[in-house]
Structure 1
Amino acid sequence: MSNPKAKLNAIRCRINEIDEQLIALMAERTQFAGEIARLKMALDMPINDEKREREIQEKTRKLCEKYNNFNPDLALKILKLLMDYNKEIQMKELKNKQ
């Protein structure tokens, strides 16, 4: 593919596919938040689990090394946003059950 315009379009098309996969995976991850809240209630566990968050952070750093030294700060920021959002969902779930 020596045509730069065609190559640009092909790359953009692939990025669009990846974006869709990312959204689908984030939605799937978020769907578990309510279930996790119910399980934490049954186990009498708090919403915040610092040990679990540290495990996720460490795993994320290792995955960043594995995947072409992807920027761990960026990955951790994204995961923090997801975890904070999921905690909000869990809090709402707990309030609805009380």
Structure 2
Amino acid sequence: MAAQKQASICLLFSLLIISLYKSSQAAGIAIYWGQRTDEGTLADTCATGNYQYVNIAFLSTFGNGQTPVLNLAGHCNPSANGCAGQSIDPSAVYIPTR
């Protein structure tokens, strides 16, 4: 009985160690794009391959019934002239899973 209990504890401990190792390998680097004019285009940022996630949303106004306002610094002005210049082919921003 004691040997069976010890084997069960060893098995559970081993599974815990494996699960911790696997989860530590799952994280990816994320970046906010759109707040610095010197950061280049969205396509350039994606093409570096440095990031698994590129967050484009930066709302300067939101909540309390307000209309959300997207702020992309000097890249474009969505409320005035649109952001067609930042539109890119979706395959340019696809980042394959590793």
TM-score range, shorter chain: 0.3 to 0.5
Ranked by relative contact order (alpha carbons within 8 Å, sequence separation 6 or more), the top structure is 1
TM-score scaled to structure 1, two decimals?
0.37
**Bigger radius of gyration:** 2
The structure that is helix-richer by fraction is 1
The structure that is strand-richer by fraction is 2
